[in-house]
Amino acid sequence: MAEQDTTPSTNGGAAQQAAGDQPQVAALAQYIKDLSVENPSSPQVFQWQEQPQLDVQFNINVSKAGDDLHEVVLKIEASARSQSGVHFVVDLSYGGLFAIRNVPDDALQGFLLIDGPRLLFPFARQIIAGATQDLGFPPLMLDPIDFAAAFMAQMQQQEQAGGALAQGEPTVQ
């Protein structure tokens, strides 16, 4: 005797409706938006004996790319300089396109400025390491960035300044 399925066939209607109200986030694409790599003092730089000072800065820009679509761009600028001159400069803008649905506005900003960059960072880190190695230097392995702490610091700065982020223009510097 064959087994029969006793669950009613609903074509997923109720399940789809319940899932339709759930927050949904998907990374649709990751890409290099802009990459500049400079070794302005070559070949002399390879004869310099002094240790360069590293300077690493990051910035996060978010823009709405369409209905339920947001672009997060992690911009990282890394340079090495000494008294002899500039050893190298790497400027990377690494983007991600995220589809975000049913996420409350108060959580959306946190995702775009904390979780989105956190997902992009390992890839951007690898690109910078490869770029510095291709310049003839040891690979620059960036330390992890605490995007949550940067976000909280920005929020505190804005509270002290008495302002709030403009809707749709969150940035972290």
Determine the straight-line distance between the first and last CA of the chain, rounded to whole angstroms: 68
Query: Which of the four pLDDT bands, split at 50, 70 and 90, describes residue 19?
Result: low
Question: What does the CA dihedral 113, 154, 144, 109 come to, rounded to 10 degrees?
Answer: -10
**63/8 Cα distance (integer angstroms):** 44
Q: Is residue 39 pLDDT above 50, yes or no?
A: yes
Q: Is residue 67 pLDDT above 80, yes or no?
A: yes
Question: Edge-to-edge, what's the strand order for the sheet holding 69-82?
Answer: 24-38, 85-101, 69-82, 53-66, 171-172
| pLDDT digit string, tens, across residues 132-171 | 999 999 999 999 999 999 989 888 888 888 755 444 444 4
Distance of CA 5 to the CA centre of its chain: 47
Q: Is residue 123 pLDDT above 70, yes or no?
A: yes
Residue 4's φ and ψ, nearest 5 degrees, are -115, 140
User: By the 8 A CB rule, do 46 and 137 touch?
Assistant: no
| Residue-range domains of the chain with CATH | 23-160 (3.10.420.10)
Cα radius of gyration rounded to whole Å, the chain: 22
**Lowest-confidence pick of 2-6, 127-131, 152-156:** 2-6
Between 14 and 87, residue with greater pLDDT: 87
**145/124 Cα distance (integer angstroms):** 12
DSSP class per residue in 63-93: EEEETTEEEEEEEEEEEEEETTEEEEEEEEE
Q: Which residues contact 76 (CB under 8 A, 6 or more apart)?
A: 56, 57, 58, 90, 91, 92, 94, 124, 128, 142
Tokens of residue 129, six digits: 């390491």
Question: Average pLDDT of 1-13?
Answer: 47
Single-letter amino acid, residue 168: G
Predicted pLDDT of residue 159:
85
Prediction pTM value: 0.79
